[in-house]
């Protein structure tokens, strides 16, 4: 047995001073943060911060963080290193003190992974990355398996509602997300000619930390990856395709193959989470190819990203254009002026035909009726939209989250925000289990609660958001649409406006209420 002391600062001379202070303790290793990376991944769990010079023990035992100016005198009730008045006083620097066998205690595979992970996540999209980061911050050993060669570079979805922003804050990325993106100011419903019908003023939340924020999904992925590099307990495996899954009473596993070399590798974990999107291999392995109940909309959707100056026409940050033929949404997605324009098209056309029709659709729909040389098209993607929910979000040691568990149309951003809230809830459940505050039955609560949120919130509201744009004539929509009627009243009633904005929190569920102790 030995003691590893990781110096949590690069103060010059600190490491030599420590060896001079304790020359007679050969069982102590003093290592720098760079040297600690290789060691800390084998130590569980993460350090626990100890304030006011008091020593504390992590829930698993084995690691301790304490202010360096304080005495290092005991661990688990017995002396480890006696305090010396000669100890160099590098105030306000921390050190990590860990007891463990040296070399590392956990068996390692040739690829550097532990022989048994605590959590394995299939899919390195933002949902999987976020869950991995949350767990890694608590030093849970977690690996993400991704079939692609790198993170997805497509902008895709962009808007994160208040419940999602709370989860990002928990992961420690909220402030950077806000600085890289921008906060929504207003949403409006309009006639095709731009005439205002009703809207919601998000500026009423300008003093609230968790107001809706926009950042393209690929940039969120980059942000999450950057933060994950700070934690050695999280690892990414790219170029690995899951070919089969299995579980027994003690473990779950996935069989994988390297997409380039064909190398096969089985990965085991206490729990495996499918965050692998709409075509989830995990979900299809659990329920079959037909095990995703719901419907596919008849409507054909075309999503485009474009640089075009909507603001000079007085458009809001997000605009839903109501028209039986040329219905669309135009939403600003970057502070640099990129907009997402998602519109409806004639069903039954090929992708080539849909893309060929895009210039004509833009000229008919967009304010100013622009020709192609008046805007800069970034990308175009025709696709079909769905409303689907998995039969369960837990099967034994396998769990589903985000698009792997449920799908909805993109109008209103409920699919993205709902998926992020899934991740926050699953994190609460897993941490509750790993900290012995909850047993595995909390995962059934997760499945039931998140499915209920989809059924009662995500599905009906997102469906109404889509139908509103084309199913009622714009001249009559205020006569029949209760939501737009409420938005109209809220324009002169701040309390009602706050209630409408606050309704986004209906997506949340507090799983810590099921802990045996908080």
70-106: pLDDT as tens digits = 222 222 232 333 333 333 333 333 333 333 322 333 4
Distance of alpha carbon 392 from its chain centroid, rounded?
21
Please, is 475 exposed, middle or buried when counting C-beta atoms within 10 Å of its C-beta (0-12, 13-18, 19+)?
exposed
Top-confidence residue, 508 or 14:
508
Mean pLDDT across the chain? 82
Residue 380 pLDDT greater than 90, yes or no:
yes
Q: Is 95 helix (H, G, I), strand (E, B) or coil?
A: strand
Rounded percentage of the chain residues whose pLDDT exceeds 90: 72
Determine the average pLDDT of the residues in 22-27: 40
Lowest mean pLDDT across 19-23, 399-403, 449-453? 19-23
Residue 315 pLDDT greater than 60, yes or no:
yes
Q: What is the pTM of this model?
A: 0.78
Q: Determine phi and psi for 79, rounding to 5 degrees.
A: -65, 135
187 with 199: CB under 8 angstroms? yes
Per-residue confidence at 518, pLDDT binned at 50, 70, 90? low
pLDDT for the residue numbered 115: 52
Q: Cα angle at 25 between 19 and 28, to 5 degrees?
A: 70
Per-residue confidence at 113, pLDDT binned at 50, 70, 90? low
Top-confidence residue, 324 or 53:
324
Per-residue confidence at 203, pLDDT binned at 50, 70, 90? confident
Identify the helix (H) or strand (E) that includes residue 429.
Answer: helix 414-434
Report the 10 Å Cβ neighbour count for 348.
Answer: 8
pLDDT for the residue numbered 517: 67
pLDDT for the residue numbered 112: 54
SS (H, E, C) 462-492: HHHHHHHCCCCCCCCHHHHCHHHHHHHHHCC
Rounded to whole angstroms, the Cα distance separating 360 from 355 reads 10
Lowest mean pLDDT across 146-160, 270-284, 425-439? 146-160
Q: What is the DSSP letter of 504?
A: G
According to DSSP, the β-strands at 318-322 and 186-191 are: parallel
pLDDT for the residue numbered 117: 79
Top-confidence residue, 22 or 98:
22
Residue 216 pLDDT greater than 60, yes or no:
yes
Looking at the DSSP bridge assignments, the partners of residue 240 are 258
pLDDT for the residue numbered 257: 98
Residue 448 pLDDT greater than 70, yes or no:
yes
Rounded to whole angstroms, the Cα distance separating 282 from 273 reads 8
Identify the helix (H) or strand (E) that includes residue 418.
Answer: helix 414-434
Buried b (16+ CB within 10 A) or exposed e, 284-298: bbbbeeeebeeeebe
Q: Which of 187, 191, 195 is nearest to 474 (CA)?
A: 191
Determine the average pLDDT of the residues in 451-469: 97
Residue 19 pLDDT greater than 50, yes or no:
no
């Amino acid at each position: 047995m030995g003691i590893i002391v990781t110096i949590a600062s690069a103060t010059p001379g600190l490491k030599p001073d420590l060896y001079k202070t304790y020359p007679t303790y050969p069982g102590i290793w003093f290592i720098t943060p760079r040297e600690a990376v290789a060691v800390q991944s084998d130590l569980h769990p993460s350090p626990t911060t100890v304030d006011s010079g008091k020593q504390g023990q992590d829930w698993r035992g084995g690691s301790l963080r304490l202010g360096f100016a304080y005495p290092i005198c005991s661990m688990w009730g017995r002396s480890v290193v006696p305090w010396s008045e000669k100890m160099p006083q590098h105030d306000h620097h921390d050190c990590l003190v860990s007891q463990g066998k040296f070399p590392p205690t956990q068996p390692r595979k040739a690829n550097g992974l532990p022989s048994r992970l605590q959590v394995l996540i299939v899919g390195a999209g933002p949902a999987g990355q976020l869950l991995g980061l949350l767990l890694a911050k608590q030093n849970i050993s977690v690996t993400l398996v991704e079939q692609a060669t790198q993170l997805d570079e497509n902008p895709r979805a962009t808007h994160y509602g208040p419940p999602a922003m709370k989860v990002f804050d928990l992961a420690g990325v909220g402030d950077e997300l806000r600085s890289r993106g921008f906060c929504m100011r207003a949403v409006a419903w309009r006639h095709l000619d731009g005439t205002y019908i009703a809207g919601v003023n998000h500026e009423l939340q300008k003093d609230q930390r968790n107001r809706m924020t926009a950042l393209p999904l690929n940039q969120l992925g980059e942000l999450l990856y950057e933060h994950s590099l700070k934690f050695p307990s999280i690892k990414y495996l790219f170029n690995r395709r899951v070919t089969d899954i299995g579980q027994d009473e003690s473990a779950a596993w996935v069989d994988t193959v390297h997409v380039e070399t064909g190398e096969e590798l089985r990965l085991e974990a206490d729990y495996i989470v499918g965050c692998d999107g709409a075509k989830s291999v995990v979900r299809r392995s659990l329920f079959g190819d037909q095990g995703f109940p719901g419907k596919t909309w008849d409507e054909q959707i075309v999503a485009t990203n474009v640089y075009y100056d909507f603001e000079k026409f007085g458009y809001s940050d997000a605009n839903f254009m109501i028209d039986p033929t040329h219905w669309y949404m135009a939403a600003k997605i970057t502070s640099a002026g990129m907009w997402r324009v998602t519109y409806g098209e004639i069903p039954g056309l090929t992708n080539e035909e849909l893309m060929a029709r895009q210039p004509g659709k833009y000229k008919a729909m967009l304010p100013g009726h622009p020709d192609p040389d008046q805007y800069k098209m970034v990308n175009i993607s025709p696709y079909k939209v769905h409303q689907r929910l998995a039969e369960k979000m837990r099967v034994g040691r396998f769990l589903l989250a985000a698009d792997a568990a449920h799908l909805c149309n993109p109008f209103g951003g409920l699919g993205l925000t709902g998926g992020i809230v899934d991740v926050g809830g699953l994190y609460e459940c897993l941490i509750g289990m790993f900290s012995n505050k909850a047993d595995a039955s909390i995962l059934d609560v997760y499945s039931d609660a998140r499915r209920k949120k989809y059924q009662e919130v995500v599905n009906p509201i997102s469906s109404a958001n889509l139908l509103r744009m084309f199913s009622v004539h714009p001249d009559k929509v205020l006569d029949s649409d209760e939501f737009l009627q409420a938005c109209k009243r809220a324009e002169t009633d701040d309390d009602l406006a706050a209630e409408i904005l606050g309704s986004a929190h209906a997506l949340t569920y507090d799983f810590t209420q099921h802990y045996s102790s908080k």
